[in-house]
Structure formats: structure tokens, C-alpha cells
Structure 1
Amino acid sequence: MILPVPDTGPVLVIAPHPDDEVLGVGGTIARLSRAGREVHVCIATRGRVERFGQEQVDTVRREARAAHDILGVEHTHWLDHEAAALDTEAHGDLNRSLADLVKRIGAQVLFVPHVGDIHLDHQLVFLSAMVAARPAQQQYPAAIFAYETLSETNWNAPYLTPPFVPNVFVDISETLDTKLAAFSAFASQVRPSPAERSISALSALATLRGATVHRHAAEAFVAIRQCY
């Protein structure tokens, strides 16, 4: 099965918080890296020490590094905006930092959070990613896909906010175990079933998305732009 992305050029997965990238794109990241593609991950925010404590902040960063090693991520970029506080800073700051990163690595493919996610950080990161990818510059991403994040994408108000209606599915039958291992590396974030951020829930979603397209497991995306 051919991946629905341009054949060449760096891939950038933009995550509002560490573990969003694994929940939404982990199996696809593993597939791309196994195929020899250069995959970068951008974590837009960092937990505030006064809220989470330095030890927890450091733990999550170590967990992210371990998870990304499992997936085969080329490089992780930390923008260090304040988590759960993006609405308190000038929106242009986030626009600028994402635009600089997209330009610096020459990203040809973007995976971004869904604009309808319940977390405001997700919505603002989506908007800034779209600003960074505007096709009004000499070089810009040829393809953009929005991903779903358990406990964010599916917890917003149905019919009142933009729904997640996928139109692209990536077969992750051979990389689902890798995705689950990467999420397990986020030990501080994993919850027991039936919590949505549990190994069983993540596996169940992959099975459901796969069954939709007659595959054992899949990740689902909304294609925002494809130009290649």
C-alpha cells in the first residue's frame, strides 16, 4: 500500500503536547521511517514547572525521546511555549516559531492536530500550522493532514464544533505494535482501561479505523491540502 504523501522531502508532525503525535500519527511515523523517510516531530509546548514540577516536566521529555526512538523519528523540535496557556501569548509568536521550523527543515508534508479538538492549545496550533504552511511563499508543504487525538478530538460538542470526518486511511497493521510500544514509553501519561488514553483504547481505535477500510489496523486523517 502506497502512503498518501509526496514521495520525497521531510515530514513534520506537529503536536501541541508530548504524546499527541504518538496517539494520532504513531503508526504512520513508524511506516514512514521504515521506508527511509525523514520524519521530524515538533512539540509546541512544555509543561509549566510551577504547575507540574520540574521532575514531571523532565520525565515527560525523557519519555518523548524514548517514544520517538522507538518510532524512528529523525529529530524532535521543542518550541517550549507554555502548555495550556497558548491563548495568553501573542498568537503571532506561535505563528512565527512554527513558520521558522517549517521553513528551516523544508517540510513537504505536515500532520497537524484537528481544529475541532476540545483543547484550545490544539485549535491554536492547528491555526498557526496553517499560517506556517500558506502557499504564498517560494517553498511550502505540498500536503497537510489533520489527525485525531483520543480524549481531545472525540470529546468536543457534536454538530457545534468541526467534526473529524476522515477521508484518508493509512494501513498500520505492521506498525501498530510499534505505536503501542511508543505510547507505553509515555508511562506517566498511560492510563488503565477504560480510560481513553489507555493501550486498549488506542488499539481499539486502530482496529476500528482499519475495519473501515478492510485492514487489520489503520490511522485516519483529514486531507486538508494535497498538491503533488
Structure 2
Amino acid sequence: MQSSQNRVLVVAAHPDDEVLGCGGTIARLSDAGAAVTVMFFADGVGARSAGGEIRQPELTERRKAAQTACRILGAEDPLFFDFPDNRLDTVPLIEVTQTLEKVIDEFRPDSIYTHHAGDVNADHRIAHQAVVTACRPQPGRDVRKIYFFEVASSTEWQTPGSAPSFQPTSFVDISETLPRKIEALKAYAMEMRPWPHARSIEANEHLARWRGATAGFKAAEAFMLGRELL
């Protein structure tokens, strides 16, 4: 497979979202020669303490897991930022967007993968809006494609009518890279839950098989195409 996406940026709210949403695609793109960078706005653990204080052992473990997952998938070493976990909606959007813009200016991706607008998690929705805002189509911009992914235990938990529903328009065949996605999910063992929780290994494999079946593949990841400039 020759990749038409040479520089890919995955914009995730928390470590593990990148694997849940597009881990198989990251592996496929990196195998095809694309340079893939993953960035995280928040640590994913701060909201678990009463006052939002960061527990250093948990933070260290989560970041090591993210680095391991990126190595498994073939992505570059991830970028970590320190916005408040599960409180991105308390930060002015311009601050989140400007942080992303700096990464875009440095990395100059031609494609971006990020969260769907209708996720039940507020941080996911802010990450989505930051991408849409930072990637306004203006002359001289490098970003040509934007894709929105689904995150099991967030996207499907939104209730009908409360937000836009996830209706995939693009499917990536991950029949060959699904084992690496599963391996990367296992790096986040502290975040995974036992079946039949939506954030279990089994649920994510079933989702990949179902998305594949709907597109004629053995396994797939589904996306909504946000924008494509040709």
C-alpha cells in the first residue's frame, strides 16, 4: 500500500483515545511510509482525584503506555500537553486551539484524525472543535483531509438527539493491522475493562469486525470525513 497521506497528525484528548479510535489505521499508514505523530491535550488521570491533582505514578504509567502504544503502531514519540483532564471545557477554546496550531505549524500534516463532535466526553468534543477551528481552509494551509473517529465507551454512549450521531463515510481495512491495535490496547491495561464493557479488548475487536463486515473487509476502522481538499 502506497500512502497518499505522508504526514499524519492524530489529535486525541487522552492517551488511549488514539488506539481506540484509529490504532489500526495508524499502523497501516506507518507501514506505508507515512510519518504519524500523536498529540494528547490532557493526561487522562487528573480527573480521578478529588481536587483534580495529578497523581505522579498514574501519570507516569499512562505516559509510558502511550509511548509503548505508539512504538507498537509505528508512530513517532507522542506529544503530551497539560490541559486539565475532563475539564477542557473550562479552558478558553482559543488556548486549546493555539496549542494545536503550533503543532500543526511545526509538523505540517496533510491529514488529521480526531474525535467526533457528538461524543459524550466533553474533552473529546473540545478536541474536535479545536481541530475544526485550527484547520480553517485558508490559502497556504497544508491540511488537506480531516477525519473523525469513534471511541468505544464514548461515541456510542451519547443519546439520540443530544448531539450529532456518528455516521461513518470512510472505512479503512485493518485486517492486517488489527493484531497490533489489540497489542497497543493491551499496553493500556489499566484503562481497559472486562467484557462486556464497551472499553474491553473483546468489544473493540467485535467493533472492528463489524465495521469490516459493513465494508466487505475482515476488519476495519470507520471514520466520518470532515473535509477533503483536492
| TM-score in terms of structure 2 length | 0.94
- Aligned with 1:9 (options 2, 6, 10): 6
Match of 2:118 in 1: 116
Q: Note the 1:145-160 alignment, pairs <5 A.
A: 145-160=147-162
Q: Displacement, 1:41?
A: 0.3
Q: Displacement, 1:159?
A: 2.8
Equivalent residues, number: 225
Q: Do structure 1's residue 41 and structure 2's residue 38 form an aligned pair? A: yes
Distance 1:34 1:136 in 2: 31
Distance 1:89 1:144 in 2: 24
| Structure 1 runs not aligned, ≥5 long | none
| Structure 2 runs not aligned, ≥5 long | none
Question: Deviations along 1:99-150, whole A, 9 cap, x unmatched?
Answer: 1111110010000100000011111110011111111252231000000000
Match of 2:218 in 1: 216
Distance 1:137 1:45 in 2: 31
Distance 2:174 2:207 in 1: 12
1:13 is matched by which residue type in structure 2? V
Q: Residue 134 of structure 1 contacts residue 140 of structure 1 at CA under 8 Å; is this kept in 2?
A: no
Query: Share of identical aligned residues, percent?
Result: 38
Question: Deviations along 1:50-93, whole A, 9 cap, x unmatched?
Answer: 54521111110011111111000023111221111111122211
Distance 1:112 1:27 in 2: 14
Q: Do structure 1's residue 30 and structure 2's residue 32 form an aligned pair? A: no
Q: Note the 1:1-228 alignment, pairs <5 A.
A: 7-46=4-43, 47-48=45-46, 50-51=52-53, 53-228=55-230
1:192 is matched by which residue type in structure 2? P
Q: Residue 2 of structure 2 contacts residue 33 of structure 2 at CA under 8 Å; is this kept in 1?
A: no
Measured on the aligned residues, the alpha-carbon RMSD in Å equals: 1.5
Distance 1:205 1:55 in 2: 32
